[in-house]
């Protein structure tokens, strides 16, 4: 499912505070973007214990319970984790990974907040969550009857919301510093192949691993940790970023003309990282519309063209990466590309050598 109007983390909290108290809410979203953590945080805010059920591991009897003979009649006894006396938040995680039989067992619990003769205590809240089919996750079609019993919301990643959370939760400072320079690396779409990919959850895992190593970090160790957590291209650049922290090359110094891009063969990974950061800085600093250009923008654009020329003298291929169009991310403003093509026409032609 793809909803026309997705929400970010801060908006989701407002929806849960105002909608979930009257209707069950289902949160759609890619793996690793914080759906479960947000529900637990919401339950904590409203002062309710959070009981999580993992849909992919449930059988129908785990919901409706088992029959028991009472006064000569059979009566289903719901499981202890659900049948509580005080109000609570029931979180049905991976609800759309359930079998059809389990989904049917949830009908009355979601719609009427009851299982057999047992009713959820007044004030209880029911929230579901699940991944989408395009995320290469284990999902099963949800019946129209189940879909129609819930209010649906699609969660997207917000860098600003996540970075605020990162500072409050002591995410490793190197992770924070890297993502502040490359916010586009916070999340990447799940790949079709079996390999790690970047999500808020995987950056959190990397942060934990970095903290456990403490002062025993080296570029090689950082490369191993990043490679086991992140999208391969992001892992390579994170390693180069770490290597660059204690090195002599800093993007700000290059932009100010104090130093040049590294040209030594052993610094090629650092050069690639700096070039990608350079591209991100251009996109961040310069307006999309030429009519919005100020004097400062014009001065920065002049610096950009000079540095791209210098970079092309070191590595034409890496200079092309700075200006290349990318359908999956933001691109350098068209007006600047026109000037680059005019002043540096060779960069506009793919190298065929």
**Is residue 252 domain-resident?**
yes
Q: What is the pTM of this model?
A: 0.73
Supply the pLDDT for residue 211: 94
Residue 194 burial (CB count, 10 A)? 6
CA distance 230 to 178: 13
Which of the 8 DSSP states describes residue 7? B
Q: Within this chain, do residues 174 and 85 fall inside the same structural domain, yes or no?
A: no
Q: Within this chain, do residues 131 and 270 fall inside the same structural domain, yes or no?
A: no
**Is residue 67 domain-resident?**
yes
| Joined tokens for residue 222 | 């950082």
Q: Within this chain, do residues 315 and 339 fall inside the same structural domain, yes or no?
A: yes
Which of the 8 DSSP states describes residue 240? H
Supply the pLDDT for residue 352: 41
Q: Within this chain, do residues 186 and 335 fall inside the same structural domain, yes or no?
A: yes
Q: Which of 333, 254, 352, 256 is nearest to 291 (CA)?
A: 333
Q: What is the pLDDT of residues 136-167, one digit of tens each?
A: 777 888 888 889 999 999 999 999 999 999 99
Q: Within this chain, do residues 206 and 292 fall inside the same structural domain, yes or no?
A: yes
Segments in the chain below pLDDT 70: 1, 65-67, 74-76, 246-248, 328, 346-353
Distance of CA 197 to the CA centre of its chain: 10
Q: Within this chain, do residues 126 and 183 fall inside the same structural domain, yes or no?
A: no
**Is residue 1 domain-resident?**
no
Of 156, 181, 196, the residue that ends a domain is 156
Q: Within this chain, do residues 152 and 232 fall inside the same structural domain, yes or no?
A: no
Q: What is the pLDDT of residues 58-90, one digit of tens each?
A: 777 777 766 677 777 766 677 888 889 999 999
Of 91, 123, 156, the residue that ends a domain is 156
**Is residue 306 domain-resident?**
yes
Q: Within this chain, do residues 165 and 96 fall inside the same structural domain, yes or no?
A: no
Place of tokens 């660059």: 244
**Is residue 249 domain-resident?**
yes
**Is residue 20 domain-resident?**
yes
Q: Within this chain, do residues 132 and 166 fall inside the same structural domain, yes or no?
A: no
Phi (first) and psi of residue 85, to 5 degrees: -90, -25
Parent domain of 279? 160-350
Supply the pLDDT for residue 349: 52
Q: Within this chain, do residues 182 and 144 fall inside the same structural domain, yes or no?
A: no
**Is residue 94 domain-resident?**
yes
Q: Within this chain, do residues 210 and 341 fall inside the same structural domain, yes or no?
A: yes
Q: Within this chain, do residues 138 and 181 fall inside the same structural domain, yes or no?
A: no
Which of the 8 DSSP states describes residue 347? G
> What are the DSSP calls for 21-75, one per residue?
TTS-EEEE--TTSSHHHHHHHHHHHTT--EEEEEGGG--THHHH-EEEEETTEEE
CA distance 103 to 99: 6
Q: Is 94 left (phi over 0), alpha (psi -120 to 50) or beta?
A: left
Of 156, 191, 207, the residue that ends a domain is 156
Q: How many domains, the chain?
A: 2
**Is residue 14 domain-resident?**
yes
Report yes or no: 278 and 307 within 8 Å, Cβ to Cβ. yes
Supply the pLDDT for residue 247: 65
CA distance 256 to 47: 52
Task: For 86-124, list the strands marked E by DSSP.
Answer: 89-93, 114-115, 118-119
CATH code of 42's domain:
3.40.50.300
């Amino acid at each position: 499912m793809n909803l026309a109007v997705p929400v970010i983390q801060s908006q989701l909290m407002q929806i849960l505070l105002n909608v979930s108290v009257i209707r069950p809410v289902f949160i759609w979203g890619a793996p690793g973007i914080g759906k479960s953590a947000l529900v637990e945080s919401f339950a904590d805010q409203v002062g309710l214990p959070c009981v999580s059920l993992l849909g992919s591991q449930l059988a129908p009897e785990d919901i409706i319970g088992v029959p028991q003979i009472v006064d000569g009649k059979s009566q289903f006894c719901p499981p202890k984790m659900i049948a509580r006396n005080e109000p609570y938040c029931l979180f049905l995680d991976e609800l759309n990974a359930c079998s059809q039989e389990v989904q049917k067992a949830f009908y009355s619990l979601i719609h009427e907040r009851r299982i057999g003769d047992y009713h959820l205590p007044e004030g209880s809240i029911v929230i579901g969550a699940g991944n989408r089919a395009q995320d290469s996750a284990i999902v099963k079609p949800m019946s129209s009857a189940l879909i129609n019993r819930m209010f649906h919301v699609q969660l997207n990643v917000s860098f600003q919301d996540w970075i605020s959370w990162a500072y409050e939760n002591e995410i490793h400072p190197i992770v924070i510093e890297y993502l502040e320079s490359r916010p586009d690396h916070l999340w990447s779409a799940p790949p079709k192949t079996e390999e790690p990919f970047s999500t808020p959850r995987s950056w959190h895992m990397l942060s934990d691993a970095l903290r456990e190593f403490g002062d025993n970090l080296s570029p090689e160790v950082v490369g191993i940790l990043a490679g086991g957590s992140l999208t391969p291209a992001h892992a390579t650049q994170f390693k180069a970023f770490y290597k660059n922290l204690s090195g002599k090359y800093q993007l700000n110094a290059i932009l100010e003309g104090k130093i040049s891009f590294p040209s030594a063969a052993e610094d090629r990974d650092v050069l690639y990282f700096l070039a990608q950061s350079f591209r991100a800085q251009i996109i961040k600093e310069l307006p999309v519309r030429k009519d919005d250009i100020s004097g400062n923008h014009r001065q920065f654009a002049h610096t950009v063209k000079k540095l791209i020329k210098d970079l092309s003298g070191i590595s034409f291929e890496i200079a092309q990466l700075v200006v290349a169009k990318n359908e999956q991310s933001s691109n350098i403003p068209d007006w600047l590309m026109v000037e680059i093509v005019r002043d540096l026409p060779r960069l506009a032609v793919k190298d065929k050598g």
